[in-house]
Amino acid sequence: EQRNPAQPEFHQAVHEVLETLAPVLEARPEYAEPGLVERLCEPERQIIFRVPWTDDHGHVRVNRGFRVEFNSALGPYKGGLRFHPTVNLGVIKFLGFEQVFKNALTGLGIGGGKGGSDFDPHGRSDAEVMRFCQSFMTELQRHIGEHTDVPAGDIGVGGREIGYLFGQYRRITNRWEAGVLTGKGPLWGGSLIRPEATGYGNVLFAAAMLRRRRGEDLEGQTAVVSGSGNVAIYTIEKLTALGANPVTCSDSSGYVIDDKGIDVELLKQVKEVERGRVDLYAERRGASARFVPGGRVWDVPADLALPSATQNELDADAAATLIRNGVKAVSEGANMPTTPEAVDALRQAGVAFGPGKAANAGGVAVSALEMAQNHARTTWTAARVEEELSGIMNAIHTTCDETAERYGAPGDYVTGANIAGFERVADAMLAQGVI
Ligand code: NDP
């Protein structure tokens, strides 16, 4: 903490991983090599830069840009960009640290990184977002590349922003280098199913946990989902497709409960087309839905909870309510949405708990498939990508489950995910020497 002051999210993420590694450090003495764990916790490179841009009134605005290139032992740095006013170095480092283990778990050749800016896209015009993205990329372009560092989207960065970023990269470098960014549009190098992949993948992971731990499937299970962005929308879509009943969505203003189940087409119209808030969904939907200002979805009784908004959104209080209401599984679509106290409470109550670095790895996995398609200059069908995604999510589930069992913690996906991710990165780092 002295070395990295004022970075509570980063400390939380590192602490959560290190406290589960004791069994593997004991069992495999080569990992106790001095400096290995220290090197894992220190990013290879951290870039902080000025992002000046002009708003629609001609005023110059200045934001701060970040790219943390955390670990490239397994492949090029890979991880999203987040545009949100809460972004700072500690937030990006926590996300980059998580990304290293998550990417390792996918079994694909990708290292870990993360970036973003404290820019707030809410209420900004398209032209302002474009000028911001162009300024951001004018600096970022010198640090990234298809074999170096491959950013993608995250909170506040979707298809529109990736388009502006890619356009500026292409203009400055004069290269058609599709593999430098993922989450692109399907006409210009994007993979089908990439927008859906994180949400779909999380539902597949939750289904695998339910099957393994309780012998149940998703049919007829009520689910609470938080958020209403990319991850939440496609989580709701997949839950519905597999026979579950997602009854909530939310944003920072409150949540919607819909007794008939969220109508995903209406939600897409409100969020993706009109860029509105969730209260507009409730207004349009009619009698079955109502908006609860300032409330939290965790108060709604459900069999499953899929937090899909942001870090530390599900605290001990919320966990106690979920447990009281008989929740069977919690699967993290967002990164670190569950506080450490809440994770402990859920695990002690026997709730199946899927940590984000396993459960939401479907997004980055399909990003790696997008890179593969770009390198081969080809496009796979949606059906093929979905089949690959399903195989990857089931493999991640099995890896976490078996690793947890092997290290004496059966059913503990947190321990399983952390150890399995650690083993892959650590083995690659040891083989490559002290660098
Ligand atoms: P979006 O920007 O599309 O959506 C974010 C949603 O979360 C919005 O509904 C937003 O509401 C809400 N939200 C964000 N910050 C807060 C906050 N501080 N308090 C309350 N609500 C908040 O982002 P994504 O759906 O892409 O990302 C959601 C989560 O999933 C993040 O944790 C991200 O890191 C994680 N993730 C995303 C992946 C991807 O492929 N996109 C991959 C793996 C993980 P509002 O509009 O009011 O801010």
Q: Determine if ligand 1 sits within 6 Å of the CB of residue 251.
A: yes
At 349 the pLDDT is 97
Residue 290 predicted with pLDDT over 90: yes
Tell which one of 68, 155, 251, 252 to mutate to probe ligand 1, the residue whose CB is within 8 A of the most ligand atoms: 155
Can you give the pLDDT at residue 322?
Answer: 98
Structural contact between residues 294 and 253, judged by C-beta atoms closer than 8 angstroms: yes
**Gap between the Cα atoms of 353 and 223, Å rounded:** 14
Query: Which residues in 252-376 belong to E strands, given as ranges?
Result: 254-258, 289-293, 304-306, 329-331, 352-354
Gap between the Cα atoms of 335 and 337, Å rounded: 6
CA–CA separation, 280 and 254 (whole Å): 12
Closest CA to 92 of 4, 165, 198, 183: 4
Mean per-residue pLDDT, 388-416? 98
Share of the chain above pLDDT 70, in %: 100
Is the ipTM beyond the 0.85 threshold?
yes
What is the Cα 52 distance to its own chain's centre? 27
Cα–Cα distances (Å) from 84 to 116, 157, 222, 310, 419, in that order, read 8, 9, 31, 11, 31
Q: pLDDT digit string (tens) for 161-219?
A: 999 999 999 999 999 999 999 999 999 999 999 999 999 999 999 999 999 999 999 99
For residues 289-293, average pLDDT: 98
Kindly report the protein residue whose alpha carbon is nearest to atom 4 of ligand 1: 229
Q: Which residues contact 113 (CB under 8 A, 6 or more apart)?
A: 67, 68, 69, 70, 71, 77, 78, 79, 96, 99, 149, 151
Please determine, for residue 1, whether its predicted confidence score (pLDDT) is greater than 80. no
Q: Whose CA is nearest to atom 28 of ligand 1?
A: 309
Tell me the CA distances in angstroms from 242 to 160, 207, 392, one per residue in order.
Answer: 29, 9, 18
399 has binding-site annotation = no
Q: Count of CB atoms within 10 A of residue 125's CB?
A: 10
Task: Specify the residue with its C-alpha closest to ligand 1, atom 21.
Answer: 252
- pLDDT score recorded for residue 47: 98
C-beta 252 within 6 A of ligand 1? yes
Q: Domains in the chain and their CATH numbers?
A: 8-179 (3.40.50.10860), 195-354 (3.40.50.720)
Share of the chain above pLDDT 90, in %: 99
Looking at residue 62, its pLDDT comes to: 98
| Ligand 1 contact, 155 CB (< 6 A) | yes
The residue whose C-alpha atom lies closest to atom 36 belonging to ligand 1 is: 334
Higher model confidence: residue 3 or residue 119? 119
* Overall average pLDDT of the 269-278 stretch: 96
Distance CA(146)–CA(134), nearest Å, equals 19
Active site residue 114: yes
Q: What is the mean pLDDT of residues 224-239?
A: 98
230 lines ligand 1 (CB under 6 A): yes
Please report, for residues 6, 43, 92, 95, 114, the alpha-carbon distance to residue 3 in angstroms, rounded to integers and kept in the order given.
10, 13, 16, 18, 20
Residue 233 tokens, joined: 């929308």
Contact by Cβ (8 Å): 365, 199: no
Give the lowest-confidence range in 24-33, 62-71, 403-412: 24-33
Q: pLDDT tens, 318-367?
A: 999 999 999 999 999 999 999 999 999 999 999 999 999 999 999 999 99
- Is the minimum distance from the CB of 355 to ligand 1 under 6 angstroms? no
pLDDT the model gives residue 34: 81
pLDDT tens per residue, range 8-31: 999 999 999 999 999 999 999 999
Tell which one of 231, 268, 312 to mutate to probe ligand 1, the residue whose CB is within 8 A of the most ligand atoms: 231
Alpha helices in 294-412 (DSSP H): 316-324, 340-348, 356-359, 362-375, 382-406
Residue 363 Cβ contacting ligand 1 at under 6 Å: yes
Nearest ligand 1 atom to alpha carbon 363: 40
Atom of ligand 1 nearest to the CA of 333: 30
